[in-house]
Amino acid sequence: MIRPAVLALAAALILPPLLPPFYVTLAAYVGLAAIVATGLVLLTGISGQTSFGQASFVGIAAYAAALLDGRPFTGLLAGLAAAGVVAWLLGFITARLSGHFLALCSVAWGLSFYSLFGTLPWLHGFNGIGGIAALPFAPGPRAGLAVVWAVVALGLWGAQNLLDSRSGRALRALNGARLMAESMGVDTVRLARGVFVLAALYAAAAGFLFAHVQRFISPTPFGLTASIEYLFMIILGGADRLAGALLGAVLVVVLRDALTDWVPRLTGAPGSYEAMAFSLLVIVMLHHAPRGVLSLLPQGRAAAPRPAAPPPPPPVQPIAAAGGEPVLLLDRISRRFGGLAANQDVSLAVHAGEIVALIGPNGAGKSTLFNIASGVLPPSAGSVRLFGRVLGALPARRRAALGLARTFQHVRLLQGETVRDNIALGAHLAGRAGMLRALLRLDRAEEARLRAAAEAAAARVGLADRLDTPAGDLPLGQQRIVEIARALCLTPRLLLLDEPAAGLRHLEKERLADLLRQLRASGMAVLLVEHDMGFVMRLADRVVVMDFGQTIAAGPPAQVRADPAVRDAYLGGVA
Ligand code: ADP
Ligand code: MG
């Protein structure tokens, strides 16, 4: 598959000398829209934050360019800075919001900026500002077109780099998997704000070019309607792919232009029938391709060649023993959900080099205890001591940084992403490169290191030959193993596994048990919830039994198995 950035670069070289005069302007509009849409794919399609306000960022930069006419470089910097600062401030409010709230918020600021553009006296209201100079290095419309498409190519190249990076993986997780991402150490609020600013900067770059290419601006192209059109573009093209931004920009801009031209001729009547015709077409297209027109094409997933033989698993690095102090100490933890006591006075310790199994019937409160230990839920009472520190309200991502890794009872993977990318998310904290470095491709050495870590973790759990498979294509049991590999990528000292063997076949369970024994031998502390009694009894050093939110027994497997209370409450006399 040809990269969209390459297509855009080809357009920058081929279109300007070849297009008939009328189409030069149209092609420039397509390019400008594609720049905004590229930012919007990152923001909405990839990170799941819907914005109905992108046109206001275009406007802010366009007005900055118009006001600083004659000093285009200053105008560009001022436009980017103004849009960036406004986005950063808005991001403060919106980064924590999601879904409808964020969308509504963006409608509000979209409307406010539109009315500001129309009413501030020094912006000349709806008369607009004319006579803006062309770019000094691109005097004519054809040169302007070339510059626009060169910027499209640059923007797509940067976005492609970003998606292919540590931040890109984390961005994908923002879309519906924030809790998981936080557990892997991702600062999701900061990242959401970052991509919001980035999308605004893309819009601002388009605004600057718009002012100097069209050489006249007024509030109309920066209103809510325009913002909605940008959203249409990515939805029609395919919001989760950069090519979707390109295709969507072509579709929407050309279609609208054609309809404005043809509908009045066909109907022979004045009136905005073209808007209706446009909406009808959008509905028809979405009906046939709800995931964007691009999804109609056969999928060209770059199938990497499979390694002939999987590399041998790397040796397990020994972890410095933590002395006699427990790695995790839960002290009289209680947790209520309304009137329900999910945990009551539960105490539990896990030491380095020890596997502790937590068992008990469904609803006993095991997962709740995991969530409290990992910082996903605050306890109602009691304290969590991790690696010798009392944690208070330390968030999940900070606990991950201390060396706690976990899996989830209900698998939380990015289903459409490859096994490699899913596992590499666990290596997030092993890297430092931010979005800017990723955009400019200055993160390659680090990225190679993170991928190698992911591949090593995959090899260790026996997934070396599935690295390029989308995680969602694996059977559920294998998906659990992917989660374990992702957790191992964090190089944890404490591993919490919530029902890791559920859905595994007998041999796979044996392999998992072997892996856990290896990890134990390396000094890792493992706490696991499991229902398969045979598995637990063979593996665990100690077993803790919960029922109705309370600990009813604890001790070595043989002792717990013989405990009459356990037999009555849980094992039903079968063990
Ligand atoms: P287990 O993992 O042992 O099956 P859980 O910890 O998931 O048990 O659940 C313990 C009890 O707490 C159950 O009755 C469950 O319905 C309730 N519970 C768990 N999480 C929540 C929540 N977020 N809100 C309300 N009730 C919850
Ligand atoms: Mg559970």
Q: What is the DSSP string of 236-249?
A: HH-TTSHHHHHHHH
Closest-lying ligand 1 atom to the alpha carbon of residue 366 = 3
d(CA 332, ligand 1 centre) in Å: 18
Q: Per-residue pLDDT tens for 482-504?
A: 999 999 999 999 999 999 999 89
Mutation probe of ligand 1 site: the residue of 179, 334, 336, 337 with most atoms within 8 A of C-beta: 337
Whole-number Å distance between alpha carbons of 317 and 41? 40
d(CA 359, ligand 2 centre) in Å: 10
Give the count of alpha carbons within 13 A of 509, CB side only: 16
In sequence order, the 6+-apart residues with CB closer than 8 A to the CB of 328 are 348, 349, 350, 373, 384, 385, 386, 404, 494, 525, 527
Strands 542-547 and 355-359: parallel
Radius of gyration, alpha carbons of the chain: 28
Contact 318, 523 (CB under 8 A): yes
Rounded to an integer, the average pLDDT of 460-465 is 94
Number of C-beta neighbours around residue 296 at 10 A: 11
d(CA 265, ligand 1 centre) in Å: 64
d(CA 548, ligand 1 centre) in Å: 10
pLDDT value of residue 137: 87
Number of C-beta neighbours around residue 273 at 10 A: 14
pLDDT band, residue 571 (cuts 50/70/90): low
Closest-lying ligand 1 atom to the alpha carbon of residue 338 = 25
What letters, b where the CB count within 10 A reaches 16 and e where it falls short, cover 402-421?
A: bbbbbbbbebbbbeebbbbb
Ranked by mean pLDDT, which of 296-310, 410-424, 498-512 comes out on top? 410-424
For ligand 1, which residues put their CB under 6 angstroms from it? 337, 340, 342, 360, 362-368
d(CA 350, ligand 1 centre) in Å: 22
In sequence order, the 6+-apart residues with CB closer than 8 A to the CB of 398 are 375
Closest residue CA from atom 23 of ligand 1: 337
Contact 364, 547 (CB under 8 A): yes
Residue 67 to residues 132, 201, 215, 237, Cα–Cα distance (Å): 9, 18, 12, 34
Closest-lying ligand 1 atom to the alpha carbon of residue 549 = 10
d(CA 560, ligand 1 centre) in Å: 24
Closest-lying ligand 1 atom to the alpha carbon of residue 368 = 6
Mutation probe of ligand 1 site: the residue of 335, 367, 410, 570 with most atoms within 8 A of C-beta: 367
- Phi and psi (nearest 5°) for 442? -95, 10
Closest-lying ligand 1 atom to the alpha carbon of residue 364 = 3
Rounded to an integer, the average pLDDT of 164-176 is 94
Contact 443, 434 (CB under 8 A): no
Ligand nearest to the CA of 361: 1
Whole-number Å distance between alpha carbons of 121 and 142? 33
Q: Which two tokens stand for residue 206?
A: 């388009």
Whole-number Å distance between alpha carbons of 32 and 30? 6
d(CA 285, ligand 2 centre) in Å: 43
Closest residue CA from atom 27 of ligand 1: 337
Whole-number Å distance between alpha carbons of 179 and 131? 51
End-to-end, the C-alpha distance of the chain in Å comes to 57
Rounded to an integer, the average pLDDT of 321-346 is 87
Number of C-beta neighbours around residue 468 at 10 A: 15
Contact 28, 150 (CB under 8 A): no
List alpha helices for 403-532, DSSP H. 419-424, 435-439, 444-461, 476-488, 506-521
- Phi and psi (nearest 5°) for 17? -75, -20
Q: Looking at the whole model, is its pTM more than 0.85?
A: yes
Whole-number Å distance between alpha carbons of 165 and 438? 6
Closest residue CA from atom 24 of ligand 1: 337
d(CA 362, ligand 1 centre) in Å: 9
d(CA 499, ligand 1 centre) in Å: 15
Q: Per-residue pLDDT tens for 363-391?
A: 999 999 999 999 999 999 999 999 988 88
Closest-lying ligand 1 atom to the alpha carbon of residue 371 = 6
Closest residue CA from atom 19 of ligand 1: 368
Closest-lying ligand 1 atom to the alpha carbon of residue 370 = 6
Lowest-confidence region among 300-314, 329-343, 390-404 = 300-314
Chain-wide mean pLDDT for the chain? 89
Closest residue CA from atom 17 of ligand 1: 342
Q: Which two tokens stand for residue 290?
A: 């709800």
pLDDT value of residue 281: 79
pLDDT value of residue 270: 64
Question: Among residues of the chain, what percentage have pLDDT more than 70?
Answer: 92
Rounded to an integer, the average pLDDT of 283-308 is 64
pLDDT band, residue 302 (cuts 50/70/90): very low
Q: Per-residue pLDDT tens for 177-234?
A: 999 999 999 999 999 999 999 999 999 999 999 999 999 999 999 999 999 999 999 9
Q: Per-residue pLDDT tens for 70-118?
A: 899 999 999 999 999 999 999 887 766 766 777 888 889 999 999 999 9
Closest residue CA from atom 26 of ligand 1: 337
Give the rounded distance of the alpha carbon of 569 from its chain centre.
Answer: 43
Rounded to an integer, the average pLDDT of 14-40 is 95
Ligand nearest to the CA of 502: 2
Instruction: Name the more confident of 251 and 274.
Output: 251
pLDDT at 167 over 90: yes
d(CA 234, ligand 1 centre) in Å: 39
| Residue 500 parent element (H or E) | none
pLDDT value of residue 303: 44
Closest residue CA from atom 7 of ligand 1: 367
Amino acid at 29: Y
Q: What angle do CA 136, 139, 141 make, to 5 degrees?
A: 140
Give the rounded distance of the alpha carbon of 139 from its chain centre.
Answer: 41
Question: Among residues of the chain, what percentage have pLDDT more than 90?
Answer: 72
pLDDT band, residue 575 (cuts 50/70/90): very low
pLDDT at 396 over 50: yes
